[in-house]
């Protein structure tokens, strides 16, 4: 009794026969001498500049020490209610833009955010739970209004993780392009 090959084996055998008659190409046998710049017209200096731009975009900006110091004072000493950060494009660093005092509230934070430029903000939200317990949650807000420049939006989006990593103890993150997306009801709903 002769055994007939299965359908999968027949397909493999058919592919072998078809490929046997072909000349080697890039898919069947890669060229051993691949040029450093495979496409024509790609300049080595431009490639290096693009690599540097990619590196800066993925790593983000330098975060000044004062950013973390103000955050820690807000978190542990409760001296500040909020901290607003901005990116200085000339020094390529994240700086503290505004600090809210202990008596200031959420309305002052919203007023401190510009309508035509991006910012980061950290807000210490105090509330009372249904069990009548006093609690505090820290919110990280990425403010990117629709009226801001596209370059600023990209810069803030790529640098967010670098700052966020340094601010240890943030409970929630809110990304807003409109004041209604970060309203007081949204913050209260996320905290409880």
3-54: pLDDT as tens digits: 666 666 776 777 677 666 655 555 555 555 555 545 555 555 555 555 554 5
* Domains of the chain, residue spans: 45-190
- pTM (predicted TM-score): 0.67
* Average predicted confidence (pLDDT) for the chain: 81
140-170: pLDDT as tens digits: 999 999 999 999 999 999 889 889 989 999 9
Fold of 45-190: Severin (3.40.20)
- Give the per-residue SS3 of the chain: CCCCCCHHHHHHHHHHHHHHCCCCCCCCCCCCCCCCCCCCCCCHHHHHHHHHHHHHHHHCCEECHHHHHHHHHHHHHCCCCEEEEEEECCCCEEEEEEEECCCCCHHHHHHHCCCCCCEEEEEEEEEECCCCCEEEEEEEEEECCCCCCHHHHHHHHHHHHHHHHHCCCCCEEEEECCHHHHCHHHHHHHHC
Q: Which of 7-11, 85-89, 184-188 has the lowest mean pLDDT?
A: 7-11
**Structure-model confidence comparison of residues 15 and 134, the more confident one:** 134
Residue 89: the pLDDT is 86
């Amino acid at each position: 009794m002769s055994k007939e090959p299965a359908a999968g084996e027949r397909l493999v055998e058919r592919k072998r026969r078809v490929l046997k008659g072909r000349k080697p190409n890039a898919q069947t046998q890669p060229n051993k001498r691949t040029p450093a710049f495979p496409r024509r017209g790609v300049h080595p200096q431009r490639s290096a500049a693009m690599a540097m731009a990619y590196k800066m975009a993925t790593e983000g900006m330098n975060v000044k020490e004062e950013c973390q110091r103000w955050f820690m004072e807000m978190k542990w000493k409760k001296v500040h209610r909020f901290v607003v950060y901005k990116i200085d494009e000339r020094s390529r660093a994240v700086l503290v833009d505004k600090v809210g005092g202990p008596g200031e509230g959420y309305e002052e934070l919203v007023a401190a955010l510009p309508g035509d430029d991006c910012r980061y903000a950290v807000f210490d939200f105090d509330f009372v739970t249904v069990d009548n317990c006093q609690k505090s949650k820290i919110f990280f807000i990425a403010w990117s209004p629709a009226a801001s420049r596209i370059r600023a939006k990209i810069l803030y989006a790529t640098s967010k993780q670098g700052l966020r990593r340094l601010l240890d103890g943030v409970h929630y993150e809110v990304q807003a392009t409109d004041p209604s997306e970060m309203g007081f009801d949204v913050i209260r709903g996320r905290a409880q």
